[in-house]
Structure 1
Amino acid sequence: MNQDKLYQGSCFCGAVRIRLTSDPVVMGYCHCESCRHWSAGPVNAFTLWKPESLQVVEGDDHIGSFNKTPQSIRKWCKSCGGHLFTEHPEWGLVDVYAAVIDDFAFQPSVHVHYQETVLPIRDGLPKMQDVPAEMGGSGVTLNE
């Protein structure tokens, strides 16, 4: 991880601005129904970071939150509805949606919850049935 890295991003209207330091722990695609429903897309591009890497630099009072489950506390801008990030306290990580980070070179390395996919993607990356065992999943990899 490069501690000299600095990334910036914002919600759709720009009322909430974020800063990320270092590089993400991992990047990939989530195919679970919850992420698909939240993102309004067939797959969600995620970037997982250590929580201390994320700073809200503007608009903290504009951030709304919802947690459907204890594993995911989703954050969005109350002004425009733009999605920002999801806290995953049990994993000690925060998912900053790749699309909200300015000039970010998204480099996925894995697909998670692939058993729920509605959009099969043949890209040669590992396809996890759920999540890695170290995150509480089965660790099972599916065929492409």
Structure 2
Amino acid sequence: MNDEKSWRGSCFCGAVQLTVKGAPEAMGYCHCDSCRHWSASPVNAFSLWKPEAITIQEGEANIGTYNKTPESSRKWCKICGGHLMTEHPSMGLTDVYAAVIPGFEYQPGVHVNYQESVLHIHDGLPKLKDVPAEMGGTGVSIEE
């Protein structure tokens, strides 16, 4: 019996349905220019999952992909334009945008790429210049 918790999410129109299972590897906020532009927001709330924790339940043919760099494959619904996730092959993780998973208890633990921040958030969470050292960054903290 598999008692891992799962959550169902979808694009804006519901044509693409996905499920995430288990627990994410990390949750937080990204302030990089790419995430800000992609999300049309001053900050992106991420939840990073191992690819095997994500299943497309419906609408896989409706998923479009954009690669600005080899480091990210951004996915969206070709019908409504709703953003779904970003695959990060070099990290072996996929960011399923927190807003795409209703009912999921989002618990951010860090701000990444804070040196690029345009919206300074004073919440007591660690603020990293780029990303953690174990993910290829410097791991350098920036004061709130």
Common fold: TM-score over 0.5: yes
On the 8 A contact 1:17/1:56 being kept in 2, the answer is yes
Residue deviations 1:26-69 (CA, integer Å, cap 9, x gap): 10000000000000000000000000000000000000000101
Query: Following TM superposition, by how much is the alpha carbon of 1:3 offset from its aligned partner in structure 2, in angstroms?
Result: 6.1
Aligned residues: 143
Cα distance in 1 for residues equivalent to 2:36 and 2:92:
22
| Structure 1 segments of 4+ aligned residues over 2 angstroms from their partners | none
Q: 2:71: which partner in 1?
A: 71
Whether the aligned pair in 2 keeps the contact of 1:3 and 1:21 (CA below 8 Å) is no
- Structure 2 distance, partners of 1:26, 1:79, is 29
C-alpha distance in 1 between matches for 2:10 and 2:126: 30
Q: Secondary structure at the match of 1:127?
A: coil
Instruction: Give the corresponding residue for 1:138.
Output: 138
* Secondary structure in 2 matching 1:142: coil
RMSD: 1.0
Output one character per residue of 1:6-36: Cα deviation in whole Å (capped at 9) or x when no partner: 1110000000000111011110000000000
Q: 1:22 to 1:3 in 2, by over 3 A?
A: farther
Flag structure 2 segments of 5+ consecutive residues without an equivalent: none
Q: Percent identity?
A: 66
For residues 79-94 of structure 1, what are the structure 2 equivalents within 5 Å? 79-94=79-94
- CA 117–56 in structure 1, closer or farther in 2 if over 3 Å, else same: same
**2: CA distance between counterparts of 1:4 and 1:94?**
19
Task: Note the C-alpha offset of 1:5.
Answer: 1.0
SS of aligned partner of 1:8: strand
Unaligned runs of 5+ in 1: none
**Residue 15, structure 1, aligned to residue 11, structure 2:** no
